[in-house]
Structure 1
């Protein structure tokens, strides 16, 4: 029995991976161009994975690779690229002439045989127009091809257009390495204690930044072992109320009556609880005793604080994320 050779291909440099059966061409390797048939017709793709275990995929059947790309296929693709730019300009002029300049032509792509044209457009939700009529008008302009016109959202448009990210990175994440978009919610920003100022959490696409999900799972897991805000806890300096949690450092800031806010690790709180219950605890080391068991006022700038890189990033009066936190994520 012949074992299937399943490969993964991409139609864009940073795009979703699609799977095909290349059993007829066992010598194909990563980076090789191939011709495959999709819902858009014949297309040129680049192999990104080879000999994939079918058990790791959610699919049971795969289309076969048409053929390895020949020099003629590669020349045809280059010629079509030039024609696509001309076609996009034609469509842009159509929108301008019909007072629809707010509609952007994001991309236009011909199938490898040149028989089909796939056009992606994007516009603000406030722009009203009849996309069916637009399709008919453009089809009349381009009589020799079968046209498919599709409107895409701002995140997909930002990925295809590319450019600088809102954080200052030269290339935005979606165009650099994200092959698929994940669902992003405002809850992710709140969980990470990031400022909810729109400029801090909004990407160039006008939607919530994709990077809000990068550390979200770590924060959710770290928070599980910490007391919640406003909860009363026992500390080595007395009872107080939690006013801020610092998940990645496994620490909390506790407001103690007549003393003020102090920072404690979970180790400090657990030790205080054991002492209150009369349990035996190990004596503090000389270093911990010197630094007061790592107890510090969050806004102090003494030598103990400045030597702690993580400690410099937080303050009870300044929410995390008000500086450029994105540079760390990227």
Structure 2
């Protein structure tokens, strides 16, 4: 069957629907039914042939292509979201709540408003919800999000000078670990390997597969190797150039050799010790 891919946020997960007989192109807006109710999304992929057996859940059909009335309703919702943001921010100040409002979202049929916020600890926002429900006369939902989601929503520039990957093209966050930074030979200085969100940079994931492949064919630091000049211990490794610095057993000289020119007697291991993990605690979180 043919399906289309639909996004509900500029950078978000793609959901699949059956277009039925509706002719659609990328950039069109469609009205669909989701787990959250009726929503309007952007078509980002068209005419993809798939085998229904590969999907656990049945593919739902679209309700219709968005018309002029739908587009006007969306525009009104955006204005309402901007007003709701200011009202909620003032109410947070009135209630002296330790939370930061990040974004407001109205569902397409206006039966619910979602307020996204960050906070260091749990927040008792019951009175705030009562106030907001009284003002907007609709269902109110407050969602606490992590610092990565905050960065994705707000956007900004990374240390590379480019807009955040998460707000530009990453649909989902991929798991990133301290071990990746270690395997890539990066300094385990938190300011060097963490993004503006205070967590490990998402881009550590991009080249990890290549580094893992290189590590399979390259002696690691601590490896005992045999060179043309005798046995020694690998002191330093440059994975990209394939060059090793080896401290010789007998002379204590340090020589630079290519990985192809050595024979591995006993390979080393890449480990993150407890002290390093303790110092970098929290960087792997959401």
TM, length-normalised to structure 1: 0.74
Match of 1:251 in 2: 243
Match of 2:255 in 1: 262
The reply on whether 1:24 has 2:17 as its aligned counterpart is no
Give 1:17 shift.
0.4
Residues 251 and 55 of structure 1, relative CA distance in 2, 3 Å threshold: farther
- Alignment size in residue pairs: 263
After superposition, the CA RMSD in angstroms is 2.1
The reply on whether 1:177 has 2:174 as its aligned counterpart is no
User: Structure 2 residue aligned with 1:63, among 60, 65, 72?
Assistant: 60
Show the 5 A alignment for 1:126-205: 127-143=121-137, 145-165=138-158, 167-205=159-197
Distance 1:254 1:24 in 2: 67
On the 8 A contact 2:246/2:256 being kept in 1, the answer is yes
TM, length-normalised to structure 2: 0.85
Q: Which has the larger radius of gyration?
A: 1
Give 1:132 shift.
4.5
The reply on whether 1:50 has 2:42 as its aligned counterpart is no
Match of 2:273 in 1: none
**Structure number with higher relative contact order (C-alpha < 8 Å, ≥ 6 residues apart):** 2
Q: Deviations over 1:116-169 (max 9, x none)?
A: 212211122xx34224454344323322x222221111111110110111x142
Match of 2:225 in 1: 233
Q: In structure 2, list runs of 5 or more residues that go unmatched.
A: 266-286
Distance 2:179 2:127 in 1: 40
Match of 2:36 in 1: 40
Match of 1:242 in 2: 234
Distance 2:81 2:111 in 1: 13
Structure showing the higher strand proportion among its residues? 2
The reply on whether 1:117 has 2:113 as its aligned counterpart is yes
Q: Deviations over 1:277-330 (max 9, x none)?
A: xxxxxxxxxxxxxxxxxxxxxxxxxxxxxxxxxxxxxxxxxxxxxxxxxxxxxx
Partner-residue secondary structure (3-state), 1:249: coil
On the 8 A contact 1:160/1:175 being kept in 2, the answer is yes
On the 8 A contact 1:226/1:251 being kept in 2, the answer is no
Distance 2:218 2:4 in 1: 45
Q: Deviations over 1:220-258 (max 9, x none)?
A: 111111223222211123321101222222332211253
Give 1:195 shift.
0.6
On the 8 A contact 2:5/2:46 being kept in 1, the answer is yes
On the 8 A contact 2:95/2:128 being kept in 1, the answer is no
Q: Please say which of residues 78-87 and 237-246 is displaced more in the overlay.
A: 237-246
Match of 1:298 in 2: none
Distance 1:263 1:131 in 2: 62
Give 1:76 shift.
1.6
Match of 1:82 in 2: 79
